[in-house]
Structure 1
């Protein structure tokens, strides 16, 4: 019996340790690889977000829920999406056409010097992470969307670490029990 225990301990000591070092900020906020518009298609709920300016973050926290719905596109670089926001049981909708440029995108018909946006890498399998620089970077919006309403704790911790890397206030996490707006 003692020999079996010693052999088991020795075997465990020989197994490789799979603890990895924490990711650096450079790795955490790196842009996504070139995106396929077909990967973006469909509806995702806003799970969490942070804004660089506290007064805008306070307004953001008042939302009951929000989502984005990317529509089918015939182009490899253009796609449209509709954003919905539920606030005090009222829904508002805004539609946009965007042009993909690698991991970045531009809003068609807007002043491109005033707004830049990019998809940021996330290890969450069904998530989409968007970073928007408004007014040439004076204000940053950082949004985590998912096909699920509630994420695993590790997925939210990764997002919190990404927010921290950007020196932004702690993110607001949406209440997954609040109803989303219906598709317009």
Structure 2
């Protein structure tokens, strides 16, 4: 019998989530499968001494600032505060003080970082912790299987930046305008 390592398990869950989306399966099922992959990958990132949410913030701000410097659209929901952060990072890149996303410092504490992922973890935890509140309900609008897949792919690429993504993942990302 073949052994399955953690990264292989996560990749298989991501690919299964993509197949489920393509078949138009139940969005909650898709979300839970993809969130399982993300949960596993986040734990591996944490084990390596990093925080997934902090890394997403760093990479998002860095790439948004680089896009702004290049005159290309910033495809993030923004606010005046976020725009100011992007402008500050762009200025840091321009001056050479910021060369990589990891040059950015995230000052949010662990609880605040965890809250940032609440929209992805909420449906997963709803099922995972049934004993704590057996009468709880979940708003269907909280389910975002595609978003959970994209987060899982992001976490996977953080752990394995040199590995090419399977074609099925590339096709999914292209279909959703990510690449």
Q: Please say whether Structure 1 and Structure 2 have the same fold, judged by a TM-score greater than 0.5.
A: no
Larger strand percent? 1
Computing the radius of gyration from Cα coordinates, the structure with the larger value is 1
Larger helix percent? 2
Provide the TM-score with structure 1 as the length reference. Answer: 0.29
